[in-house]
Structure 1
């Protein structure tokens, strides 16, 4: 039985939030339609205006559209598990940080800032009907060498992008189950502390 992926998944939020956050999720299948460079530039512009410690903006994005050499080069650095489904995506990216500040000190906030960039980009993308899915499964060192980044840079994540849609049958059985699983998050009282940290057992 074919099952089409849809943009909306039920999100059991406990408090009101805007739809672009509530409805955003990270699929592994995408509609069979390209993402234009114009749309990508709108997504990148949203990321460009993310908050950044000392305005250092340590993020760097390598991107490629399916069918291009850059897309294939990024794909080559994904771990096998991610390659198995990321081929559904019309766009692949690498999120790269400069781990040094302009005066050569360690930038301990660079990963946080890249996260801000990607979150901005994801919300902008969702407003356009485009989903992104971030991946930790990337061969960091080989990607860094292939794309010519200096020693102080770190390839932190890979990212897929594409319009919501597609067919879950393009995935293996285990991933089909994950795609249809209910969304869940920790409750606020598991990570909020109005005072001292209290270790809590995970549910």
Structure 2
């Protein structure tokens, strides 16, 4: 895949926010520049220090670098749509969480929230390193659970693709290429999700 100049996105924030958050976005093409095992472990270390309910740290990550057997095993668990682009990532993760508390009797209702906090740390750390992250709901979670020998009290929730910004969008189909090249990012207005009082529809 030929290299291109990284796409610069416009993020029209209503208030000034930290640049690493403002500049982060989720491409579907990546540079061919390798990501090392040390860099993967740096990302994992950032996630390791995320807050979690009762310090349970319920996240569990299976990771693979491109060219390895583990990378291929994760890739094979992805849904067809994501297989169409994720193969150009340099690193793939399968992200899971432990569903129950240490006593095994009570459900950990906050485990998915904690996995999200873990990945939030990872995304910010990755951005500081010039590495892009694209998280995916499209993973065969039952297949991945079996493939990687997760017990029944674990759930494989997502996958994540990592690579440096700067891939060639011409390798994508027309619809995805259009999304990739779209200049301005968008989000809901604060007034649609944050209420200083009662919930509003």
Q: Same fold by TM (over 0.5)?
A: yes
Whole-Å separation in 1 of the counterparts to 2:12 and 2:46: 27
Report deviation, 1:3.
Answer: 9.0
Cα offset for 1:33?
Answer: 1.1
Count of matched residue positions in the alignment of Structure 1 and Structure 2: 198
Counterparts of 1:3 and 1:92 in 2: how far apart (Å)?
20
Counterpart secondary structure, 2:9: coil
Alpha-carbon offset, residue 179 of structure 1: 0.7
* CA offset digits 1:115-166 (Å, max 9, x no partner): 0000100000000000110000010001000100000000000000011111
Aligned to 1:111: 112
1:132 aligns with 2:133: yes
Residue 14 of structure 2: aligned partner: 14
In 1, the alpha carbon distance for the partners of 2:28 and 2:189 equals 25
5+ residue gaps, structure 1: none
Q: Please, which of 177, 182, 186 is the counterpart of residue 188 of structure 2?
A: 186
Contact 1:60 1:95 in 2 (8 A): yes
Consecutive aligned runs of 4 or more in structure 1 exceeding 2 Å deviation: 2-5
Output the aligned Cα RMSD. Answer: 1.2
Instruction: Give the secondary structure class of the aligned counterpart of 2:123.
Output: helix
Could you list the runs of 5+ residues in structure 2 that have no partner in the other structure?
Answer: none
How far residue 41 of structure 1 moved from its aligned partner, in angstroms, is: 1.1
User: In 1, distance between residues paired with 2:43 and 2:188?
Assistant: 28
Displacement, 1:5?
5.4
**Contact (CA 8 Å) 1:50, 1:117: kept in 2 or not?**
yes
2:7–2:181 CA contact under 8 A, matched in 1: no
